[in-house]
Structure 1
Amino acid sequence: MSRLRLLWQIPLILFVLIVVLILVNEYAIARSSRRINDIPYRPTNAPGYDVERNSLDVYAPTGNPSRSKPVVMFIHGGSWSSGSKNIYAFIGRRLAKLGVVAVLINYRLAPAVEVPDMAADCAEAVRWVSQHIAEYGGDSSRIFLMGHSAGAGLAALLATDDQILAKVGMSPNPVKGVILDDPAGLDMFDYLSRMDYPNDEQYLIPFGKKPAVWRSVSALYSLTAHTPPMLVYVGDQTYPSIIKSTRLFLQRLEALGVNHEFTRMPNKKHVGMVTQLFWKNNIIYRDLLAFVGAKR
């Protein structure tokens, strides 16, 4: 019986060891960066200002402060109705350790606002970064956007629709490149016109009921020959709608001659496409460093 009890304890011991190793690893990574959290990027007296949702965190490398570093702004997903920058702190820490100034942003969500207001929030965050990131060692002339799922759709929209940033005084568009991780919402006009999947009506809350709006916030329709370069990643086991819209998006990039690279990642589902970023040797980080010109 004593041996049997010992065998039952082995999985628990292994679990504790794994947790300890993860915590030690996170502590070591955190020491190589400093986090400045909950910075408001919209004026606090602006209509609709939300103290939680209109804030961002900066993760700045602690080494070699004399050299300005590229900036990657990460936009979280969550079906346009949930999610938080705080969930993805590991991305900020890893990017900072790799020699990038990372900015993780929140934005207002449905049902409080619809997608055009979410895009406007993200544009305000880009403006704040352009104006202030030098204070944290970032190079305002090298701003890149990155997002997963709905956040990738917003990142693609900001990079392709110059008018969104022009409305907050950012003209020309300062975005130098985009990293799209399993992007959702690239063609919501087609998606909401068809309603092919169960519970699709839930997306009428963030997108409204006007087809013209669906089209205006779908990055597929705002692509031009001047769209900045893109890295695009899709899991081969993700949602069929993401695979379909990304395929059309890539075809359009190709037709316009936009510089881009596409990687279809084997055995990856939608959530796994972002959780893999916990590991610093992930292929997305490797490609990203070359893409943004990071030097450790």
Structure 2
Amino acid sequence: MIKLALKPVFSAWLMTLLMACSPLKVLNAFNPGDTFNRTSDLAYGPDPRNKLDIYTPKDAAPDAPVVVFFYGGSWISGSRGDYAFVGEALASRGIVAVLADYRLYPQVHYQELLRDSAQAVGWTHAHIRQFGGDPAKLYVMGHSAGAYNAAMLALDPQWLAAAGTTPSIIKGWIGLAGPYDFLPIEDPEVMPVFYFPNSPPDSQPINHVSAASPPALLIASVEDTEVNPQRNTGGMASRLRAQGVSVREVYFSRTSHRTLVGALARPLRSLAPVLEEVAAFIHAQDQAQVSSVSVSH
């Protein structure tokens, strides 16, 4: 009972600390090191940002499932090291996690960062057996801008084709607070990434849904003020269902746009069962296709 009573107090204290300090560094400071083995700074391409880290679960089962994770940051900022807590979270559930950097604006526009993301997935598919993962159980996942990257790789065949493979290598995709249908662009920082006002319609993931799209888990926060959950998560889920694609759509009321991914970290897991949803979705694919369902918490 005492432990249960302390949880809200600790969460409130931690949220105050997160607002005062660098939030991701605080979350990583609570990261245990006994659930994974990390292999760092592996190059998947020629650019200095074409690097990835792999988190392999300790005592991993043979042929473990694999998730390639892309972080957010409006395609203008971010570093894989800031999201070590995501690698630990997935590894703690028996999943090999691959966290990849990719080039950002102004170095590149959206096409090039998608090419980088596709290269990271292609490299993972070719090499992950060396790190305990099964390439036949490969998933892509992202938060915010990173969920856009994951969606485009899963839905638009041109990107993985350019990396020498196809979306058929993706068993499923997971989007956390992802932007999938966001024209016209309102954020001034994002406008140049997509050449706005000349952003092409095929830059939008929702325009690439087909009956061949892989199963999806789409999670959002009810009160997200950065990426409209009804238009993006809800609209994508509806489009997938219309094509007969299996999708699980989940909304949480106690998280924000940013704490949705933060809920993967041990100190914030009481906010919402994001990790449980991700792990259940991935492990369910080994048994059968998930049912098409919408859930709110």
Corresponding residue of 2:53: 57
- Matched with 2:265 is 278
1:247 shift after superposition: 2.3
User: What amino acid sits opposite 1:277 in the alignment?
Assistant: L
Letter in 2 for 1:63: D
Choose which of 164, 177, 181 in structure 1 pairs with 2:159.
Answer: 164
Alignment partners' CA distance in 1, 2:264 and 2:189: 28
**Partner residue of 2:22?**
none
**3-state DSSP class of the match of 2:238?**
helix
| Residue 236 of structure 2 is aligned to residue 249 of structure 1 | yes
Aligned counterpart, 2:112: 117
Residue 187, structure 1, aligned to residue 173, structure 2: no
Equivalent position amino acid for 2:135 in 1: S
Trace 1:141-152 onto structure 2 (pairs within 5 A): 141-152=136-147
What is the CA–CA distance in structure 1 between the aligned matches of 2:127 and 2:137, rounded to whole Å?
Answer: 13
Structure 1 residues 117, 257: CA separation in 2 closer, same or farther (over 3 Å shift)?
same
Matched, 1:84 2:79: yes
User: Which moved further from structure 2: 153-162 or 201-210?
Assistant: 201-210
Amino acid at match of 1:26: N
Q: In structure 1, what is the Cα distance between the partners aligned to 2:139 and 2:122?
A: 13
Which residue pairs with 1:39 in the alignment?
42
- The size of the alignment, in residue pairs, is 259
Deviations 1:258-288 (A, max 9, x none): 1001111013211111111113675222122
Question: What amino acid does structure 2 have at the position aligned with 1:38?
Answer: D
Q: Percent identity?
A: 33
**Pairing partner for 2:69 from 46, 71, 74:** 74
Answering whether residue 99 of structure 2 is matched by residue 104 of structure 1, we say yes
Question: What is the aligned counterpart of 1:230 among 213, 216, 239?
Answer: 216
- Structure 1 residues 241 and 61: CA distance shift in structure 2, 3 A: closer
Contact between 2:57 and 2:95, CA under 8 Å: does it hold in 1?
yes
2-structure distance, mates of 1:72, 1:256: 25
- Distance in 1, matches of 2:87 and 2:167, equals 27
List gaps (5 residues or longer) in structure 2.
Answer: 1-12, 18-26, 287-297
Residue identity matched to 2:233: T
* Structure 1 counterpart of 2:204: 218
The letter of the residue matching 2:39 is: I
Tell me the residue number matched to 2:4. none
Matched AA of 2:222: D
Q: 1:39-69, CA deviations, whole angstroms, 9 ceiling, x for partnerless residues?
A: 1111x3xxxx2x1x2100000012046x110
Tell me by how many angstroms 1:214 deviates.
3.6
- Give the AA of the match of 1:266: S
Name the aligned partner's letter for residue 278 of structure 1: A
Tell me how far 1:172 sits from its aligned partner: 5.2
Tell me: CA distance 1:57–1:233, structure 2 relative to 1, closer, same or farther (3 Å).
same
Other structure's SS at 1:134 match: helix
Where does structure 1 lack aligned partners over 5 or more consecutive residues?
1-13
* Kept in 2: contact 1:165–1:173 (CA 8 A): no
Higher CA-based Rg: 1
The CA distance in 1 between the partners of 2:279 and 2:189, in whole Å, is 37
Query: What is the aligned-residue RMSD (CA, Å)?
Result: 2.4
Distance 1:245 1:59, change over 3 A: same
Matched, 1:261 2:248: yes
Between the aligned partners of 1:23 and 1:277, the Cα distance in structure 2 is 11
Distance 2:35 2:256 in 1: 31
TM-score, normalization by structure 2: 0.81
| 8 Å Cα contact 1:162/1:173 also seen in 2 | no
CA deviation profile, 1:166-196 (whole Å, cap 9, x unmatched): 1111035311101111112x123x233xx4x
1:239 counterpart residue number: 225
Separation in 1, partners of 2:195, 2:28: 43
CA distance in 1, matches of 2:178, 2:218: 8
Match of 1:26 among 23, 26, 31: 31
- Pick which of 260-269 and 70-79 moved more: 260-269
TM-score (norm 1): 0.81
Question: Any conservation in 1 of the 2:178–2:227 contact (CA below 8 Å)?
Answer: no
